[in-house]
């Protein structure tokens, strides 16, 4: 957490030591927009080692000239003025080159609305015509958009993120450049794409951003999302992150493309929910037992958004909580007892018969009762 008020203290301390320092980026933009401020970043001509002499610091991004400063129980990312070097792989600036000029530092930033500065007197300083674009509600690259997107293609996705967050329009030349260069997104590290995309999905103006993705055809270069995005665009209410991805992957034949670098947990969840949504629109005891309440609810939500079924949330909850059995471990006849009764060694037969019993209990064809299960076991085991 960090605030402008405390950040001004950081600026004062740096100035006192003879350095220049400004608040920069999102905090100044959101301050002008009277929106809640995420975190406050500071840009300065002091080098990281010099910053470390003044404050308690953590070397969070030394490679990029960034240290995290702890000041009055708040944390600030303090970055030395930079000019970014060649962008060889559309991913990372090849090297960090420090600059003596704050103007050079703001010119390397992505959009005009993100290039505003604020001094310790809380005056906003604009070297990039960002104030005008804030007024006009425009997302426009600083400098030639073709060049800026060639340097770092992720900026194209960031344009949609800011659109989703702020509801602004993407300025025409910037938008044209995105359409022309959209294939370059394929060279961007997938982790960075996932990051911006998730932030985009969480924005209040998601629909606007999705519309722009479709007009610029960017949705076609995001693996497996094309049909989903086109569908979501027609919906009234926008989905949260999980239903967003599950809906997309359900429409992608239930496949989560390998390219996506979700955590294993998330990949598995999206995969299962998308398959489940395509498998059924009615959730019976066996689905609930096999997939659990959470995946079934998610799959139903997606089917509802796809117009395939009603919202069955209450029904799913009720059915789940009245399942006659929730796990193999709930069988009233234990595995050890089964081994004893049959005189057989533990093996595949055990799992098979347990599963059989569970299914029959779920279908209400068998009672989960010790004697009943004993009889069933004796009758069904050779
Ligand atoms: P948020 O409200 O999401 O934090 P932000 O504007 O602070 O928005 P960050 O991703 O936190 O965005 O980045 C901080 C600042 O760094 C941006 O405002 C911008 O000036 C600069 N920046 C970030 N990513 C890039 C990039 N890929 N290319 C150029 N400048 C960038
Ligand atoms: Mg930020």
Could you tell me whether strands 41-44 and 21-24 are parallel, antiparallel, or unpaired per DSSP bridges? antiparallel
Closest atom of ligand 1 to 199 CA is 3
d(CA 91, CA 97): 16
Ligand 1 atom with the smallest distance to the CA of 30 is: 2
Compute CA distances 127 → 106, 124, 138, 139, whole Å: 8, 10, 16, 16
Q: Is the pLDDT reported for residue 94 higher than 80?
A: no
Question: Nearest 5°: phi and psi at 362?
Answer: -65, -35
Whole-number pLDDT of residue 368 = 95
pTM of the model: 0.91
Q: What is the pLDDT of residues 173-202, one digit of tens each?
A: 999 999 999 999 999 999 999 999 999 999
Q: Average pLDDT in the 275-295 region?
A: 95
Supply angle C-alpha 326, 327, 331, rounded to 5. Answer: 105
Q: How far is the CA of 313 from the centre of ligand 2 (A)?
A: 37
Write out pLDDT tens, residues 212-267: 999 999 999 999 999 999 999 999 999 999 999 999 999 999 999 999 999 999 99
Ligand closest to 37 (CA) is 1
Nearest CA to ligand 1 atom 17: 25
Could you give the domains of the chain?
Answer: 1-136 (3.30.460.10), 140-222 (1.10.110.30), 223-323 (no CATH), 328-380 (1.10.246.80)
Contact assessment for residue 160 and residue 213, using Cβ atoms and an 8 Å cutoff: yes
Pocket residues for ligand 1 (CB within 6 Å)?
25-26, 38, 41, 109-110, 114, 152, 154-155
Whole-angstrom CA distances from 379 to 141, 334, 353, 359, 376 are 75, 17, 11, 17, 5
- In angstroms, the CA 149 to CA 130 distance is 18
Q: Classify the C-alpha dihedral 305-240-160-130 as positive or negative.
A: positive
Quote the pLDDT of residue 1.
83
CB atoms within 10 A of CB 338: 21
How many angstroms separate the alpha carbon of residue 106 from the centre of ligand 1? Answer: 11
Centroid of ligand 1 to alpha carbon of 27 (angstroms): 10
Ligand 1 atom having least distance to the Cα of 151: 28
C-alpha of residue 261 to centroid of ligand 1, in Å: 22
Q: Which residue's entry shows tokens 């004893």?
A: 340
> Given a cut of 60, is residue 92 above it in pLDDT?
no
Which residues pair with residue 42 across a beta bridge?
23, 78
For residues 305 and 239, what is the distance between their CA atoms, to the nearest angstrom? 9
Residue carrying the six token digits 């009889």? 375
The pLDDT of residue 305 is 98
**Best residue for ligand 1 mutational test, from 39, 66, 68, 110 (most atoms within 8 Å of Cβ):** 110
Pocket test for ligand 1, best of 4, 26, 65 (most atoms within 8 A of CB): 26
The mean of the pLDDT values for the chain is: 95
Q: Alpha helix (H) ranges present in the chain?
A: 4-16, 26-32, 48-54, 102-107, 130-136, 145-151, 154-166, 172-181, 190-201, 206-215, 226-233, 241-250, 264-279, 285-305, 313-321, 335-342, 348-362, 370-380
Kind of pairing between the strands at 169-170 and 66-71: unpaired
Please give the distance, rounded to the nearest whole angstrom, from the Cα atom of residue 25 to the centre of ligand 1: 6
Residue nearest to atom 27 of ligand 1 (CA): 155
Q: How far is the CA of 114 from the centre of ligand 2 (A)?
A: 10
pLDDT at residue 363 greater than cutoff 60: yes
């Amino acid at each position: 957490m960090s605030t402008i008020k405390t950040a001004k203290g950081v600026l004062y301390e740096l100035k006192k030591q003879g350095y220049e320092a400004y608040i920069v980026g999102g905090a100044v933009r959101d301050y002008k927009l009277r929106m809640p401020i995420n975190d406050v970043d500071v840009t300065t001509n002091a080098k990281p080692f010099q910053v470390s002499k003044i404050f308690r610091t953590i070397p969070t991004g030394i490679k990029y000239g960034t240290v995290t400063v702890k000041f009055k129980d708040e944390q600030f990312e303090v970055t030395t003025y930079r000019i970014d070097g060649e962008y060889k792989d559309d991913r990372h600036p090849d090297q960090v080159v420090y600059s003596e000029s704050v103007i050079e530092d703001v010119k390397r930033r992505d959009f005009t609305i993100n290039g505003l500065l604020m001094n310790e007197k809380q005056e906003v300083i604009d070297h990039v015509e960002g104030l005008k674009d804030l007024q006009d509600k425009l997302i426009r690259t600083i400098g030639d958009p073709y060049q800026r997107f060639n340097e770092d293609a992720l900026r194209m996705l960031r344009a949609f993120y800011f659109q989703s967050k702020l509801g602004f329009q993407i300025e025409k030349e910037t938008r044209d450049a995105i359409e022309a260069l959209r294939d370059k997104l394929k060279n961007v590290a997938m982790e960075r794409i996932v990051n911006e995309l998730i932030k985009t999905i969480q924005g209040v103006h998601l629909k606007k951003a999705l519309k722009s993705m479709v007009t610029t055809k960017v949705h076609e270069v995001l693996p497996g999302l094309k049909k989903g995005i086109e569908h979501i665009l027609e919906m009234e209410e926008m989905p949260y992150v999980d239903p967003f991805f599950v809906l997309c992957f359900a429409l992608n034949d239930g496949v989560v493309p390998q390219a996506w670098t979700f955590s294993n947990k998330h990949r598995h969840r999206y995969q299962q929910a998308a398959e489940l949504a395509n498998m059924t629109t009615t959730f019976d005891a066996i689905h609930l037992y096999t997939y659990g309440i959470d995946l079934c609810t998610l799959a139903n939500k997606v089917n509802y958004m796809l117009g395939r079924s009603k919202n069955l949330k209450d029904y799913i909850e009720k059915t789940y909580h009245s399942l006659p059995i929730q796990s193999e471990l709930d069988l009233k006849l234990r595995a050890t007892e089964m081994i004893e009764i049959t005189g057989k060694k533990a093996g595949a037969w055990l799992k098979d018969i347990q599963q059989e019993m569970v299914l029959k209990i779920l279908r209400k064809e068998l009672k989960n009762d010790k004697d009943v299960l004993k009889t069933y076991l004796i009758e069904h085991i050779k």
